[in-house]
A and B are shown apart, each in its own frame.
Chain A
Amino acid sequence: MDKSNIIEKINGFLVEEFEVDMDKITSDANLRETLELDSLDYIDLVVVIESNFGFKVKPEDFAGITTFQNFYDYVANRIAAEKVAS
């Protein structure tokens, strides 16, 4: 799965799960503000990440994620790391 596929998949489940308009999702937009995430919504976000990409997320993983681009990069890096590990 290349980066554009990953981004497309992420945007697809964010629109569905968090009922956000696709046109509000831009790479430099703030993830938390755009999706209006509260602490429990982060749990839902972890569930959709884990179910769609098959890796476990740790709480500290979110420390460096502010924008959608940060989020895409995080998921892509984790997928790549999982591939290397396997």
Chain B
Amino acid sequence: MTGIITDYIPQREPIVMIDNLVSASEEGATTQYHIKENNIFITDGHFNESGLIENIAQTAAAQAGYICRQKNVAPPVGFIASINALEVYALPVINSSVETTVTITNRVFDVVIIEGDVKQHEEILCRCKMKIFTQS
């Protein structure tokens, strides 16, 4: 997709945890991320759990940012309200890439409920559900 990733998300370096928006729709989005050595979420040579969660949250933010740009409206500010059903099967190593998909399962009042998974070579490394409070 066109544009640089910071066109779609509010985060700035060194907190940016996605590189490319692969696809986006009203229902969800997919991003890619290459894990560099200087990433702030590296622990013992691996992208840690906090980084994976941030990666999923930023994929959700990119979805909202992309849709809002398409509609020429300001994106809402989003806050992680809760994380449920977190499962981490493996942590990706430095200098590897991951692909992250977020699916919006529900919107209730000002809360968007998503399911996210992080994959590497089609293998799921991490998945969770999140409630994201949005403030327009």
Contacts and interface: CB of A to CB of B under 8 A. Distances in A.
Contacts, number: 18
A43 B113 CA distance: 9
Interface in A17-74: 40, 43, 46-47, 50, 57, 59
Contact of A46 (B81, B82, B109): B109
The dominant DSSP class at the A interface is helix
Nearest to A47: B106
Interface residues of A, number: 7
Contacts of A59: 109
B131 interface: yes
B131 A46 contact: no
B111 interface: yes
Contacts of A40: 81-82, 111, 131
Contacts of A57: 108
A43 B106 CA distance: 10
B129 to A, nearest CB: 11
Contacts of B111: 40, 43
A49 to B, nearest CB: 10
A43 B84 CA distance: 13
B104 to A, nearest CB: 12
A40 B113 CA distance: 11
Contacts of B82: 40
A47 B114 CA distance: 12
17 contacts: A40-B81, A40-B82, A40-B111, A40-B131, A43-B108, A43-B109, A43-B111, A43-B113, A43-B131, A46-B108, A46-B109, A47-B106, A47-B108, A47-B113, A50-B106, A50-B108, A59-B109
Given A43-B111, A47-B108, 10 more contacts: A40-B82, A40-B131, A43-B109, A43-B131, A46-B109, A47-B113, A50-B106, A50-B108, A57-B108, A59-B109
